[in-house]
Structure 1
Amino acid sequence: MDPVTNPYAPGAGSPPPELAGRDPLRDRLRISVQRLRRGRSAKSLMMIGLRGVGKTVLLERMRQDAEAEGIHTLRLEAPEHRSLPALLAPQLRLALLRLSRTEQAQVLARRGLSALAGFARALKVKYRDIEVGFDAEPQPGLADNGDLELDLAMLLEEVGRAAREAGTALVMFVDELQYVAEEQLAALISALHRCSQLALPISLVGAGLPQLRGRAGKAKSYAERLFDYPEIGPLDDESATRALVNPAREESVEFEPEAITAILTASRGYPYFLQEWASHTWDIAAQSPITRADVALATLEVTAALDANFFMVRFDRITPAGRCYLRAMAELGPGPHRSGEIAAVLHKRVQALAPIRAALIEDGMLWSPGHGQTAFTVPLFDDFMRRTMSGDECWQAT
């Protein structure tokens, strides 16, 4: 096949040619933001799922949907070593400047900019990474107490009032939300709670790994009532088939049924992996229809590409002790696994391994589906660990 016309998009966060299987969530958000705009209650969303399920792509498509409805949005990705105030401040500034162009909201938007100036100046001592231009002078007592939870609530109140006056809403789209520090996550949840109490049109759509739900509940006990937590998982066979077949048909290319089954089985329905298999198979196939033999040949290239570009990036960050813990999990299969089972493979006590497990969860490599259970956050990582690392060095070290 001509690689120039290859329709698939396997890059991280790259929008696929067909976003299949996610329409119910998109409709859910559309209803939510329109309720907010009308002054009605609507829960914020925290979408949770493993790596490779397409959370980032879905988050951006939902943001575009909201913008098309006339909703003001901001888009953030929470890195591991940057504060939430530093991420929010410049984005809120842009949102307030946009709102200030609406005649009926000018006064409240300018007040919001004053609140932002006070917020940034008061918190810059604690969060030194805050960098934002000032478009108005701060007003004493307006979001300038130096207390993140109090000040962020006051700031979002002002933004919400301006958005309401402009006849719109503001929705914050935040990716990798599990990396936000607990104190800062608590402040964000508290601020959203206050806006909800005042019926202000401010909402959050977050995305993160499965541990996000527990982190939110730990940060604020009422988070479970403030948010819905839709789980983003692999595509069902029908949706995965559409994502695979329809882009090819746009280029007058077909797949044999056995080739479709082979790709769905190999990718396990995970959107990122499906795009990788489809893209490599397209490049290998000589003609239409694409066959199961083409998929078999492509699988060798896909495995090498995933090992080098997807799995190894994560593997390189892990300590030797962490790698042995993951290799022991891989020895047991895809999981989830009991902590005692993992400890038995390594011939160690569960308590001795607890700090390693906690560090891997904090780093986003593992999560706990239930008490004493451990699972990979990266699908197919058990296969990768068995290909990459012999367990002998771990077993012999114990």
Structure 2
Amino acid sequence: MDPYRNPFAPGAGSRPPELAGRDAILELAKISCGRAIKGRSARSIMLLGLRGVGKTVLLNEIGRNAGQDGLLVSRVESPEDESLARLIYPEMKKVMRSLSGVEAAKQIATRGLRGLRNFAAIFKIEIAGVEMGIEPEPGLADTGDLQYDLPDLFTLIGKAAQAAGRGWILLIDEVQYLSEGDLSALIVSLHRMSQEGLPVILVGAGLPQIARLAGEAKSYSERLFQYPPVGPLDSASASQAIEKPIIEEDAFITDDALRLIVDRTKGYPFFLQEWASVVWNNAEGPKITLDDAEQSYAETLTLLDDGFFKVRIDRLTKAEVQFVKAMAELGDGPYAMADIAHMMKRTQKSLGPARSSIITKGMIYSTDHGYLDFSVPLFAEFMRRQG
């Protein structure tokens, strides 16, 4: 069929044509945003899930909805080895400058910009250009301790937003890459917002270990956040995600072809989009048959192996590759660390550094004490295909 009319979007973070099965999470976020802007108690949200389940898509959709509801929206992605201070300084500056243009919020926002000058200086953040007429204010956000300085800035943003009749939502992707100190400072800041009833909320997204990391950073985080899991789609939602876009393009897919794609991808959104995209391009149309789906499977696996999976395995050292290969040879996870060590004929202690490094790179995570699993769905199958 015409590739220019292909409705599917298998890119990283690309919004699928049909965002099926995520209504409950979107509604949860919408309620939090609505309560925040009305001055009601609103809990922040952490989206937890493996790679390729659509967390980034959800963050973007939540941001779009929040913007339509009157909140100022900031979105950042946490890379490895980047400080939170540098990461969100430009976003806080944009929000402060936006609020300084509202008469009711101007005085508070201008004070916030003074605090940001101090913050940039103390955390050695380069400022592009010159903030004319903005002088630093001694004693405001200048201790050099993020757990003291960040809550002060969040408070000023919250009060300025409140005065302007607005709210602020901060979207952070890949939260697991934040350091423990940075995550702790972020939690302290949000706790302050909750205590003072200010219209500032966070929606974060990342791997499943975030709930544990947040709890280790601050024990009260379990009461501060909601942790909705983002997993594979159920069969009805997965079918809808494929079938509806096809019908909207005046084509159709047979039940057995649809069932094959849903079953083999196990409902994981990225894989659904990849296979549906390939089968669309390969089918003569307008009917997509079981033969079309089966003949497109090998090409889909090649695309996944050479792209989605390869970019992740390429980040690992040879020793780390042997570690994940041993995991895959044990079948499907979770995997006991003792079994991995036995498979590799090593002691658990000697594998500690490799385990820690692979977790840091976001390839595996701890599901329970002494157990690991892949953060990438179907990765064990990929490793076994490599021989």
The match for 1:191 is 189
Post-superposition offset of 1:134? 5.4
The match for 2:149 is 151
Q: For 1:278-357, what aligned pairs fall within 5 Å after superposition?
A: 278-357=276-355
Q: For 1:225-244, what aligned pairs fall within 5 Å after superposition?
A: 225-244=223-242
CA pair 158-73 structure 1, distance change in 2 beyond 3 A:
same
Q: For 1:73-152, what aligned pairs fall within 5 Å after superposition?
A: 73-124=73-124, 130-131=126-127, 135=131, 136-152=134-150
C-alpha deviations, 1:44-85, integer Å up to 9, x for none? 101110001000001000000000001111000001122111
The match for 1:395 is none
Post-superposition offset of 1:354? 2.1
Q: For 1:159-170, what aligned pairs fall within 5 Å after superposition?
A: 159-170=157-168
Q: Secondary structure at the match of 1:352?
A: coil
C-alpha deviations, 1:160-202, integer Å up to 9, x for none? 1101101111110000011011111111111111121111111
Q: Secondary structure at the match of 2:368?
A: coil
Match of residue 206, structure 1, among 191, 204, 209: 204
Take 2:272 and 2:163, find their aligned partners in 1: how far apart are those partners?
45
Post-superposition offset of 1:97? 1.4
Question: What stretches of structure 1 of length at least 5 have no aligned partner?
Answer: 391-398
One-letter amino acid of the counterpart of residue 263, structure 1: I
Take 2:127 and 2:188, find their aligned partners in 1: how far apart are those partners?
23
Q: Secondary structure at the match of 2:197?
A: coil
Take 1:5 and 1:104, find their aligned partners in 2: how far apart are those partners?
49
One-letter amino acid of the counterpart of residue 196, structure 1: S
Take 1:306 and 1:62, find their aligned partners in 2: how far apart are those partners?
28
Take 1:209 and 1:332, find their aligned partners in 2: how far apart are those partners?
22
Question: What stretches of structure 2 of length at least 5 have no aligned partner?
Answer: none
CA pair 205-132 structure 1, distance change in 2 beyond 3 A:
farther
Take 1:301 and 1:286, find their aligned partners in 2: how far apart are those partners?
16
CA pair 23-320 structure 1, distance change in 2 beyond 3 A:
same
TM-score (norm 2): 0.97
Q: Is the 8 A contact 1:89 1:132 kept in 2?
A: no
The match for 1:396 is none
Q: Secondary structure at the match of 1:16?
A: coil
Take 2:185 and 2:297, find their aligned partners in 1: how far apart are those partners?
46
Take 1:161 and 1:337, find their aligned partners in 2: how far apart are those partners?
48
Provide the aligned C-alpha RMSD in A: 1.2
Identity %: 47
Take 2:234 and 2:279, find their aligned partners in 1: how far apart are those partners?
21
CA pair 303-313 structure 1, distance change in 2 beyond 3 A:
same
CA pair 131-260 structure 1, distance change in 2 beyond 3 A:
farther
Q: For 1:164-179, what aligned pairs fall within 5 Å after superposition?
A: 164-179=162-177
TM-score (norm 1): 0.94
CA pair 175-133 structure 1, distance change in 2 beyond 3 A:
farther
The match for 2:274 is 276
Which stretch shows the higher mean deviation, 216-225 or 45-54? 216-225
Take 2:218 and 2:127, find their aligned partners in 1: how far apart are those partners?
28
Post-superposition offset of 1:215? 1.3
Take 1:167 and 1:144, find their aligned partners in 2: how far apart are those partners?
28
One-letter amino acid of the counterpart of residue 3, structure 1: P
Take 2:338 and 2:202, find their aligned partners in 1: how far apart are those partners?
38
Q: Does 1:57 align with 2:57?
A: yes
Take 2:45 and 2:332, find their aligned partners in 1: how far apart are those partners?
28
C-alpha deviations, 1:121-164, integer Å up to 9, x for none? 1111xxxx554555322111111122111011111111111011
